Structure 1
Amino acid sequence: MNDFTHINQQGDAHMVDVTEKSVTQRQAIAESCIEMSASTLALILSGQHHKGDVFATARIAGIMAAKKTADLIPLCHPLALTKVEVEIMPEPELNRVRVQALCKLSGKTGVEMEALTAASIAALTIYDMCKAVQKDMVITQTRLLEKQGGKSGHFKGKYD
């Protein structure tokens, strides 16, 4: 009757039943960027930030967030992630930091939301740690870059 996987025949939201789906290798890569002033980025990169290692804290926050995605997004399945990697790349020429998150597992459902959550929370953590120095930072470009596995196969975004 409907084509929405998260809505049942009565129109109610529900968690999709993945019982009969095949277990496959799955992975997703997402990113989020945070724009800031050159002086804020320089403070982070110099290691002189009064709150400590901003990037290390953000990396840990992103990893923890990926593992908690089902607690944050109502209809996500809890997943047994086998790898979460958060890479934080300063881009001083653009006055920003790019966060990329990779999530992997062998399972019945994808890991896109976990990768997006990891990238988002890492960027939010950078904001939180730097807001005393600069309040007008902007988090941008939270997006899925690539996913592999499952019935829908391989997706690679056409981005810069």
Structure 2
Amino acid sequence: MALSEFDRELIAATQSGLPLVARPYEAVGAMLGVSGERVRERLGQMLAEGLIRRIGAVPNHYRLGYTANGMTVWDVADERVDELGIQVGALPGVSHCYRRPRELPIWRYNLFAMVHGRSRDEVERQAAQIRALLGDACRASDILYSSAILKKTGLRLTES
């Protein structure tokens, strides 16, 4: 899909994130010489066209004091994983939740839920809540703790 010059300018202006101001689209528009409404409209079109997948906040949990970040992994009955994943994803301590294919016999887990805490005890309490919600549908689980932030960037354009 061909990008217009405006698309390239818009991506370049937002690829490091939106400005941390009360009216970020207007700030981006001012940089590009267009209205904030034009920025919102084009980003909405880019979402609809699949040029970008989402617009969202990407907090740095470490800087917010959440230093115990754990990806909880669950072996959930396949016939219930979608239904239960929706419920797990709605829990307040879960930042994202998704289903992944198993890689048997090495990897048995099919439901993943990221939780953030100020301590490992806090993460383990949240994992206990998830386990209680999953009930008998859960056969096994583990918590994989983060040791570093590897990627916190969005779409990037390279010169070609």
- Choose 1 or 2 for highest CA Rg: 2
**Bigger helix share:** 2
The structure with more strand, counted as a fraction of residues = 1
Which fold has the larger relative contact order, with Cα–Cα distance below 8 Å and residues 6 or more apart in sequence? 1
Q: In which range does the TM-score fall when normalised by the shorter chain?
A: 0.3 to 0.5
> Could you state the TM-score of these two structures normalised by the residue count of structure 1?
0.38
